[in-house]
Structure 1
Amino acid sequence: MTPSIPKVLFNFLLALKANNTREWMLENKKEYLANEKTLKICYAAIENGLNTSDKISKTKIFRINRDIRFSKNKTPYNVHRSVSFSRAGAQRRGGYYLRLEPGNSYMAGGFFDPNSADLFRIRKEFERDASEIREILNQKEFKNVFGGFNQENAVKTAPKGFSKEAENIDLIRLKSYFVMHRFTDEEVFASDFIEKLLSYYQLLRPFFDSMSDVLTTDLNGVSLIEHA
């Protein structure tokens, strides 16, 4: 039986948001640990589901403790829970993400803030030909679920070395290449949430496969990895 996300998790996160102190967390540590145990079961079910059609090398559960060293916001805890799933092997690029937060839950997948070499390689590919990625983005079900690449992180005109008149400048301007889908609280609590989440992750595979081909070859199509 597939596990479900319990409503008590969101009740806890709402209470934490209203009482974001170490003292409150200490008083409610037992409930926090119980929620984390349930979440780990859910995360394991998601990883197992992903592994039926993909290969996952690592599940990263993000800490509830905030890094407040360089932040004006000194509250010690995040008021959401999040997890990411990394794909295995140099030939499998892209990653899966899930954030659970009252009123702000979403899944995402793709290439968030890629390193400079990867970003340049992606941009050069799209400068030359973006027909394959556009076909994926415009696939009906993909477009209905995700809409398209998140547009928040982009340069204003054109990156250095690229023309602002380039045919695919809308893609070249981006600094990250990922898509998102938001969930209502009711959808998160539904018994079929994990199945729905996995179906959305599955929709990412053509996108991941295409981008993996780009990032593991040079502009001449020659493989950059010794073993696939």
Structure 2
Amino acid sequence: MIQSQTLDFLKELVDNNNREWFQANKERYDKARENVIELAAAIIPKLHHIDPFLSAELDPKKCVMRIYRDIRFSKNKTPYKNNFGISLPTLGSKLGGVEYYLQIQPGKSFIAGGYWMPEAEHLKAIRQEIDYNADDLKKIIDDKEFVTLFGEFRKQDQLKTTPKGYDVDNENIDLLKLKSFIAWHPLKDKEVCSPKAADEIAKVCSRIYPLNVFLKNALA
């Protein structure tokens, strides 16, 4: 579970996002990061039990993303992220591929899964899988419990035009125009700070698992 001190550190970082304050509070950061690593370590075996494509041998330290921002091409020059991210890739996927992703951020934590902004070759393969087997995807995303947890899957960012090779009258054009294929569920602070946090997060991921299987099959 996440300690309240971890959230407190992130809250204060928002108002003190500079190197001087961060260095003065480096010990607090190290403890907060270790807390996030502990949560990742607790989640990994539970997710492996749900999704065998996620290795039980994942290193939780490597799954916790850097807090340092790349500001070279950004107008926002604050040097640190105001959250901790945990990327849990499935076998054969690099970070940012078909994965589960947990973000710890005061008042804005969430658990997600799927594939965010696939590269062109993968996007083409996923669209082809949708074209061939749309009913399989719709069975997953239109399930009542799925919609309750994650909302309307089709309301993600879409192309404004019809993707190349598909007809505007295609009955599944709303799915074919998607740029990402993500299931996203918000988490309250009291949920991430609960002793049952790892169990509850794994339970949500069990509902994401069929989506990840569909996406993995598309890329096979």
Q: Normalising by structure 2, what TM-score? A: 0.89
Give the Cα–Cα distance (whole angstroms) in 2 for the partners of residues 190 and 86 of structure 1: 24
Q: What's the CA shift for 1:150? A: 6.3
Give the Cα–Cα distance (whole angstroms) in 2 for the partners of residues 89 and 23 of structure 1: 40
Give the Cα–Cα distance (whole angstroms) in 1 for the partners of residues 143 and 157 of structure 2: 23
* 1:135-178 superposed Cα distances (whole Å, 9 cap, x missing partner): 11122222211123263421013112222211101000001111
Partner residue, 2:11: 14
Give the Cα–Cα distance (whole angstroms) in 2 for the partners of residues 110 and 151 of structure 1: 15
Partner residue, 1:181: 185
Partner residue, 1:120: 124
Counterpart of 1:85 in 2: which secondary structure? strand
Q: What's the CA shift for 1:132? A: 0.8
Partner residue, 2:195: 191
Partner residue, 1:222: none
* Equivalent residues in 2 for 1:31-180, closer than 5 Å: 31-53=28-50, 54=52, 55-56=54-55, 58=58, 59=60, 60-89=63-92, 94-149=98-153, 151-180=155-184
> Could you tell me the percent identity over the aligned residues?
35
Give the Cα–Cα distance (whole angstroms) in 2 for the partners of residues 42 and 86 of structure 1: 16
Q: What's the CA shift for 1:215? A: 2.0
Counterpart of 2:71 in 1: which secondary structure? coil
Give the Cα–Cα distance (whole angstroms) in 2 for the partners of residues 173 and 150 of structure 1: 9
* 1:164-209 superposed Cα distances (whole Å, 9 cap, x missing partner): 2111010000011111000121222222121110001111222222
Partner residue, 1:5: 2
Partner residue, 1:220: none
Distance verdict in 2 for CA 1:52–1:88, change over 3 Å? same
Partner residue, 2:26: 29
Q: What's the CA shift for 1:25? A: 0.6
Larger radius of gyration: 1
Q: What's the CA shift for 1:17? A: 0.5
Give the Cα–Cα distance (whole angstroms) in 2 for the partners of residues 75 and 28 of structure 1: 16
Q: Normalising by structure 1, what TM-score? A: 0.86
For the pair 1:204 / 2:208, whether they are aligned, the reply is: yes
Q: What's the CA shift for 1:43? A: 0.8
The structure with more helix, counted as a fraction of residues: 2
Alignment gaps of 5+ in structure 1: 217-228
The farther-off stretch of 39-48 and 156-165 is 156-165
Residue identity opposite 1:193 in structure 2: A
- Equivalent pair of 1:127/1:169 in contact (CA under 8 Å): no
Alignment gaps of 5+ in structure 2: none
- Equivalent pair of 2:6/2:35 in contact (CA under 8 Å): no
Residue identity opposite 2:161 in structure 1: T
- Equivalent pair of 1:150/1:179 in contact (CA under 8 Å): no
- Equivalent pair of 2:116/2:181 in contact (CA under 8 Å): yes
